[in-house]
Structure 1
Amino acid sequence: MNVAPNNHKTGKEADTASVANYRVDNFTRLVTYSPRFLLMLLILPVLSGLVSVLLPAFGWAPALEQTRFGVQGFMALWQTPGLTQMIGLSVTSGFISTLLAFLMTLMILAAFFNSVWLNRIERLFSPILVIPHAAAAIAVGFLIAPSGMFSRLISPWLSNWELAPQGILPHDAYGISIILGLTLKEMPFLLLMALGVLAQPELGKKLRQQHKVALNLGYYPMTAFFKVVLPNLYPLLRLPLFAILAYASASVEIPLILGPNTPPTLAVAIVQWFNDVDLNLRIKASAGAVLQLVLTAGLLVLWLAGEKLVKVLCNNSITNGRRKYHDKVWQTATIGLTIVILGFVLLALIGLFLWSVAGYWRFPATLPEQFVLLHFQNSFMQMSTPLFNTLTIGFITTLFAITLTLLCLESEQLTTKAISPFTHLIIYLPLIVPSIAFLFGLVWLQQLLNNQTAFLNVAFTHLLFVLPYTFLSLSSSYRRLDPRFANVAASLGATPSKIFFQVKLPQLFAPILIAVALGLAVSFGQYLPTLLAGGGRIATITTEAVTLANGASRRTSAVYAMIQMVLPLIGFALAWILPKYWFKGAKA
């Protein structure tokens, strides 16, 4: 006699199944809506910030009892002494530094493409990426100052200087120091972004194969790179280039430390007006922020026009069949340039360290007469609050950014829909729009809504800048996950939440740690968002370092810059070490 299978479940089993389905539904719903939340999180603050800076710029500021639209702010802006020099300094330093960083990146890629040296160069430049802009500017300033390491190394045996010379660097009126600092800081970022594009399995394999085919056809390596690889690589570097150009044209930390003061760059002047005790200057600051937005947009349009021009001028060179363009000379020059850059950075870091532990150090002595830890001891006594704020804000924003990033990437796989080009553009939005433009408006808005939550305001503004970097860091690793593991788990009855937490996340342990370290590094280095959103009430290591760099002792400034660098380096060191013990323990 056949017995029908019992498909009925006990009450306890039914309750368990319903709870499981409820959790699955909740998790799936959370994952499905996460990309929309990401878009809202990035679009609304930026757009509302832009609107909120436009209104005061045209005279509508109820907080200042001004409710009549007009152009008084722009009139005051036009009458500012030295405005032309401010604009010229911002435009030239931003454009030239971006162009130099781009050209240097291309030369290094072309000279070492398909070579083991490219990975070695990546490892050498990677630590530079985590150095905050303020710390990098302080280090460069110590190096190129009249009594800096350069002057000490050549004195007196070569220069005959017994006293520090009257040099123009840093704080030169032409912005040379700013260009130098921006170029050295942004070039490693662009290089690592290019290497990240080449790390994509299909694209990287395709470009390397095409490069090898060109070599087999008699093309020299660098010529093959520019004719075969670059046309396919450049479109994927356009958004990172725009981010660099937008940042460089509206940077505050580096021009504040290395740039001139009479007049400064436009971005530095806007910050000074915004923080002035005369609140009416905020109208002028808002007008200046609108002008900065227009200048940055003009630079982006200029860059796009330059693309078209270069394409027209070089179109024949790509297809003319010429196999070499003095490749050996260019390769030798690139090797020399790479060594000079690495040497410059290393010397700047050595000089920074020496100033942090220097006792009496007479010029032109190369080394201090004594080494002391007194500067660290004095600084640590006053550093507890800034250090606590730095770490707390960094961890809060990074953990939130990592969580949202993972949910959005999981949404790609559950819905089998890749992120659209529009969403990809929005992820770059806080990096492309000059931060000084929308942050002013966002601060106006935050002060109208709630002026008592300075800490949360700072954390939220940090999140706008941390989130794009964590997303870009994790996206490639998440998309390269082997789907067969998830398929096997699903076939065994695992829910999407179990697959996510127990199958995918363990495989992503190392990339997640790297993304956490990167997010912390980005948060630790934020100066302008902390200064504006916190209203000067939230002190961090970065805000203190920038303040000390303009008037305090070199030794104290060096200590804060060293702490700025050590914090993210600890994060990356842990991200490198922990996976080894994790996987070692798993094998055991």
Structure 2
Amino acid sequence: MSPENTQSPLRDHRDLFTRLVTFSPKFLLAILILPVLGGLLGVLLPAFGWTPALKQTAFSLQGFDALWQTPGIVKMITLSITTGLISTLLAFVMTLMILAAFFNSPWLNRIQRLLSPILVIPHAAAAIAVGFLIAPSGMISRLLSPWLTGWDLAPNGLFPHDAFGLSIILGLTLKELPFLLLVALGALAQPELGKTLRQQHKVAINLGYCPMTAFFKVTLPSLYPLLRLPTLAVLAYASASVEMPLILGPNTPPTLAVAIMNWFSDVDLNLRIKASAGALLQLSITGGLLVLWLGGEKLIKALFRHSLTNGEREYGGFYWQKITIVLTAFIIGFIVLSLVGLIMWSLAGFWRFPAAIPDQFVLSHFKSALMHMSNPLLNTLSIGLVTTLFAITITLLCLESEQLNDKKISRFTRFIIYLPLLVPSIAFLFGLVWLQQLTNNQAAFFNVATTHLLFVLPYVFLSLASSYRQLDPRFAYVAASLGATPQKVFFQVKLPQLFAPILIATALGLAISFGQYLPTLLAGGGRIDTITTEAVAFANGASRRTSAVYALIQMALPLIGFIVAWILPKYFFKRART
């Protein structure tokens, strides 16, 4: 039975479901493009003085004049550039070094299993954990005192909140490294590509190349194009991040993104004009960094083109491999120690410096937090579920449209899916919130949910796409030839096969929604409290113990989702076999 003959039942049955599936890619484009472009327009007009709400309808450069007269504006810009670029570069280089040192080794999968749980930790919770570790009275100081440092009292430390943004760089690097590593391993998991690259790597080693040299000369040129967009997304986020700089960064002055958020949230509405101008400046900074990265690609390609074919087999690979092993062990140890310190602070009673362990462990901090957590927890779960279920639905319909039309979605659509990740959220969220306030100011829950969707949908789509496209089409052909409608084929043939991937995508979508701070704060207008907004608020003013409790709960929510996504398929498949 040829594919041409078996596809006709799928194509010809033009029912409501088929029309809905066919329309879904256009709807996907609309819900991603319109809010982002509308948000950018909503920032552009106030930046140039057009704000009817303030009775200003004449275009001017008032916002930019106020922006450049802001004390410390150059420092804000410098912090945004250096923290974003350096953290992305460090995470990217460390990813390549780990891949090169452990390629074709069972240790690579072990490192992946150790670092993968970091992906479910929201940025705010990760920042709190890192801050507790490097603080003057943090775990590092306690473990080194007084036997090495001689400190009997907590010193006046540089970290966190250092003026150079080193704490921000550390936090962003530790958070983005596992993401880039998982993206690379996901690319290598593609059957044809992974098999080809591993075989080429083995051939290079058999020809006398050092394993690390073989990776950089043979494997990386084919692997990097698959890492480009994720790396650019990391760079865009890092340059305009709010949660990490807010918790770990300096306050006088802060990074530009944090300053913009403060201006927009100020009771003085005139500061929104300056905030809009600042958002355009942030957009240009992020765009400049992306162009710089792409230009750096071309420069490195030109500089090292000859080295790919010069026949050199050794560049000190043995020493670089040892250095990578030490750095990897340090990173894993640092992350584990951060989590241990967070747990200990959440349970600590009296804990005098420099004692490494609290004098007593208590549950009173959890009890106190849980008493006031019901509303933020309910908001977090309800927004996450609504957003994720909608994202799953539109993603499945779009992927089904590929099969009904026998072609993948266009390259333009694939690029648009990344659009909310490449455009700094601080640049378009203000305009989007402004438009929401004009059209539907009272529907805070709806505004927050639709804003979360912009960030959840890309990750859900990327998570489900490969699994859906790898479905064996013969099952659908047979079902269609037996008279099954496209709707029945979709629900009764394809979705059961995708049970596990859908659960993983759902857990990922929930994790992304749970971790959203700035979209929740701005779109909700301060009326929607979630675990993340509470965690950030406590991190900047409440007791360390309460902050640790909220950070742990913020970590636990997505972790529970992934555990359920891992257990349920095994349970149902076991029942199916019996």
Q: TM-score, normalised by structure 2?
A: 0.97
In the aligned structure 1, how far is the partner of 2:30 from the partner of 2:13? 25
In the aligned structure 1, how far is the partner of 2:151 from the partner of 2:13? 74
SS at match of 1:418: coil
Task: Name the structure 2 match of 1:289.
Answer: 279
In the aligned structure 1, how far is the partner of 2:561 from the partner of 2:416? 28
Deviation at 1:545, TM superposition (A): 0.5
Deviations 1:201-225 (A, max 9, x none): 2222221121122122221211111
Deviation at 1:22, TM superposition (A): 11
Q: Return the letter of the residue paired with 1:352.
A: L
Deviates more, 1:442-451 or 1:135-144: 442-451
1:551 matched to 2:541? The reply is yes
SS at match of 2:266: coil
Alignment check: 8 A CA contact 2:467 2:498 kept: yes
Deviation at 1:23, TM superposition (A): 8.3
Task: Name the structure 2 match of 1:12.
Answer: none
Task: Name the structure 2 match of 1:224.
Answer: 214
Deviation at 1:413, TM superposition (A): 1.1
Deviation at 1:115, TM superposition (A): 1.6
In the aligned structure 1, how far is the partner of 2:227 from the partner of 2:425? 21
Deviates more, 1:182-191 or 1:485-494: 485-494
Task: Name the structure 2 match of 1:135.
Answer: 125
Q: Return the letter of the residue paired with 2:467.
A: S
Deviates more, 1:319-328 or 1:377-386: 319-328
Alignment check: 8 A CA contact 2:130 2:171 kept: yes
Q: Return the letter of the residue paired with 2:292.
A: L
Deviation at 1:547, TM superposition (A): 0.6
Identity of matched residues, %: 77
In the aligned structure 1, how far is the partner of 2:368 from the partner of 2:428? 37
In the aligned structure 1, how far is the partner of 2:343 from the partner of 2:184? 31
Task: Name the structure 2 match of 1:381.
Answer: 371
SS at match of 1:283: helix
In the aligned structure 1, how far is the partner of 2:285 from the partner of 2:569? 45
Superposition pairs of residues 117-132 of structure 1, within 5 angstroms: 117-132=107-122
In the aligned structure 2, how far is the partner of 1:32 from the partner of 1:351? 51
1:255 matched to 2:248? The reply is no
Task: Name the structure 1 match of 2:5.
Answer: none
Task: Name the structure 1 match of 2:171.
Answer: 181
Alignment check: 8 A CA contact 2:11 2:404 kept: no
In the aligned structure 2, how far is the partner of 1:494 from the partner of 1:119? 42
Task: Name the structure 1 match of 2:380.
Answer: 390
Deviation at 1:340, TM superposition (A): 0.7
Q: Return the letter of the residue paired with 2:232.
A: F
Alignment check: 8 A CA contact 1:24 1:495 kept: no
Q: TM-score, normalised by structure 1?
A: 0.96
In the aligned structure 2, how far is the partner of 1:277 from the partner of 1:188? 39
Q: 1:66 aligns with which of 56, 62, 66?
A: 56
Deviations 1:163-213 (A, max 9, x none): 111110000000000000000001111111111111112222221121122
1:445 matched to 2:414? The reply is no
Deviations 1:415-464 (A, max 9, x none): 11112221111000000000000101101111111111011000000000
SS at match of 1:428: helix
Superposition pairs of residues 339-358 of structure 1, within 5 angstroms: 339-358=329-348
Superposition pairs of residues 527-542 of structure 1, within 5 angstroms: 527-542=517-532
Runs (4 or more) in structure 1 with deviation over 4 Å come to 20-24
Task: Name the structure 2 match of 1:212.
Answer: 202
Deviation at 1:319, TM superposition (A): 0.8
Alignment check: 8 A CA contact 2:11 2:405 kept: no
How many residue pairs get matched?
Answer: 569
Deviation at 1:492, TM superposition (A): 2.0
* CA-based RMSD: 1.2
SS at match of 1:228: helix
Task: Name the structure 1 match of 2:184.
Answer: 194
Superposition pairs of residues 76-155 of structure 1, within 5 angstroms: 76-155=66-145
SS at match of 1:407: helix
Point out where structure 2 has 5 or more consecutive residues left out of the alignment: 1-9
Task: Name the structure 2 match of 1:422.
Answer: 412
Superposition pairs of residues 497-508 of structure 1, within 5 angstroms: 497-508=487-498
In the aligned structure 2, how far is the partner of 1:195 from the partner of 1:405? 23
Q: Return the letter of the residue paired with 2:208.
A: G
In the aligned structure 2, how far is the partner of 1:190 from the partner of 1:97? 12
In the aligned structure 2, how far is the partner of 1:483 from the partner of 1:213? 35
Point out where structure 1 has 5 or more consecutive residues left out of the alignment: 1-19
In the aligned structure 1, how far is the partner of 2:520 from the partner of 2:492? 37
Alignment check: 8 A CA contact 1:24 1:497 kept: no
Structure of larger gyration radius:
1
Q: Return the letter of the residue paired with 2:274.
A: K
1:44 matched to 2:34? The reply is yes
SS at match of 1:60: coil
In the aligned structure 1, how far is the partner of 2:205 from the partner of 2:471? 33
In the aligned structure 1, how far is the partner of 2:493 from the partner of 2:487? 10
Q: 1:525 aligns with which of 499, 505, 515?
A: 515
Superposition pairs of residues 311-350 of structure 1, within 5 angstroms: 311-350=301-340
Deviations 1:271-314 (A, max 9, x none): 00001010110000000000000000010111111111111111
1:406 matched to 2:396? The reply is yes
In the aligned structure 2, how far is the partner of 1:28 from the partner of 1:218? 56
Q: 1:431 aligns with which of 404, 421, 424?
A: 421
Deviations 1:53-85 (A, max 9, x none): 000000001111111100000000000000000
In the aligned structure 1, how far is the partner of 2:236 from the partner of 2:449? 22
Deviations 1:74-119 (A, max 9, x none): 0000000000000000000000000000000000111111122211
Alignment check: 8 A CA contact 1:394 1:519 kept: yes
In the aligned structure 1, how far is the partner of 2:11 from the partner of 2:391? 27
In the aligned structure 1, how far is the partner of 2:322 from the partner of 2:174? 20
Deviation at 1:24, TM superposition (A): 5.6
1:28 matched to 2:18? The reply is yes
Q: 1:359 aligns with which of 349, 353, 356?
A: 349
Q: Return the letter of the residue paired with 2:105.
A: S
Deviates more, 1:324-333 or 1:254-263: 324-333
Q: Return the letter of the residue paired with 1:476.
A: S
Task: Name the structure 2 match of 1:369.
Answer: 359
Deviates more, 1:494-503 or 1:565-574: 494-503
In the aligned structure 2, how far is the partner of 1:75 from the partner of 1:305? 31
In the aligned structure 2, how far is the partner of 1:23 from the partner of 1:390? 41
Q: 2:153 aligns with which of 156, 163, 166?
A: 163
1:484 matched to 2:474? The reply is yes
